[in-house]
Amino acid sequence: MLTAAAPALSTRQVPEKGLSRLSEAMDNPKAKNIVILLTELVAIFLMAFNLLPREASLFLTGLLIFYFLFSPLEDSLWVFIASIPLFVALPLTESFDSMANWRILLAVLFLVMSFKQGLSVSLVKKSGRWKIKEKLKHYPVEYLTGLFLLIACLSLFVAGDVWTGLKKILFLVNLLLIFVIIRNLTAKKKEIIFKIFSAIKVAIGLTLGIGLLQLAIVFFVNLHQFWHFWDRHIINLSYGQSLNNLWS
């Protein structure tokens, strides 16, 4: 009886061991980051071949926002940088479907950082007056960037189209948030620099992989067929229908 029960016990332990290993893997930050990145790749592949509608990019962006809210900042930053070649345009309305999701994700990441650990700037009261106190030493390029943005804002007073000029300035401010995030995180934890370089290598690898895939495809189909597919399935996904119509 004892010998017959032993194999049954071992077979029950097999799935339990598998589940425990899966749980340990998901507790690993690297594994979670890779799962999120693979989810992006699969979703974009399915959207490119019309197996999912473009509106799925809204759910994908929502998933990334959820991950940013509840994950460590360094992991969220890793996912954001590694995902740079995979960012897509959001079909918000029929007439406005060209807004890149990285702009929303970067703003969310900045807000999460601000609430979780604060910025390098703080307000202090000294001698009855409020003053701005900087926690970081600034480099000349930062002062030059601030001066450039100030001149850009002043240029709106003489701009022919104020709204277009304002959108361009907001785009630059949005883009500069990545510098602010990296600056604040690395000031408190220098080891994050290695994680940033790791994410950059993944982003470069994805970019080169997509480029090599394009090169390989043209050996099997003519250039017109390739461009027709890329125009109809990839450009509108990455940049919106307006640019797709312009290049068609």
Question: CA-to-CA distance for 174 and 103, rounded, in angstroms?
Answer: 6
- Range of 110's domain? 20-135+192-247
Is the distance from CB of 68 to CB of 109 less than 8 angstroms?
yes
Could you report the per-residue pLDDT of 21-41, keeping only the tens digit for each?
545 545 676 889 999 999 999
Residue 27 has what pLDDT? 60
Alpha helices, H only, 83-139: 101-116
- Residue whose C-alpha is closest to residue 111's, from 153, 136, 76, 78: 76
Q: And the tokens for 66?
A: 């959820």
Residue 81 domain-assigned (yes or no): yes
Could you identify the residue written with the tokens 């959820």? Answer: 66
pLDDT band at 243 (very low <50, low <70, confident <90, very high): low
Query: Would residue 182 count as lying in a domain?
Result: no
What are 137-196's pLDDT values in tens digits? 667 777 888 888 899 899 888 888 888 889 889 989 999 999 889 888 888 888 889 999
> Is residue 120 in a domain?
yes
Please tell me the predicted confidence (pLDDT) of residue 19: 46
- Is 43 among the domain residues? yes
Of 69, 64, 71, which Cα lies nearest the Cα of 100?
64
Q: Tell me if 170 is assigned to some domain.
A: no
Asked whether residue 69 is domain-assigned, the answer is yes
Q: Residue 8: what pLDDT?
A: 47
Q: Structurally, how many domains does the chain consist of?
A: 1
Give the model confidence (pLDDT) of 81-137 as tens digits: 999 999 999 988 877 778 889 999 999 999 998 888 766 666 565 666 666 666 666
Report, as an integer, the average pLDDT of 198-221: 91
CA dihedral sign, ordered 109, 175, 44, 238: positive
Looking at the domain assignment, is residue 114 inside a domain? yes
171-209 b/e (C-beta count within 10 Å ≥ 16 → b): eeebebbbebbeebbbeeeeebeebbeebeebbeebeee
Q: Decide if 68 is inside a domain.
A: yes
Compute CA distances 126 → 110, 119, 137, 182, 238, whole Å.
Answer: 28, 20, 21, 30, 50
Q: What is the pLDDT of residue 14?
A: 47
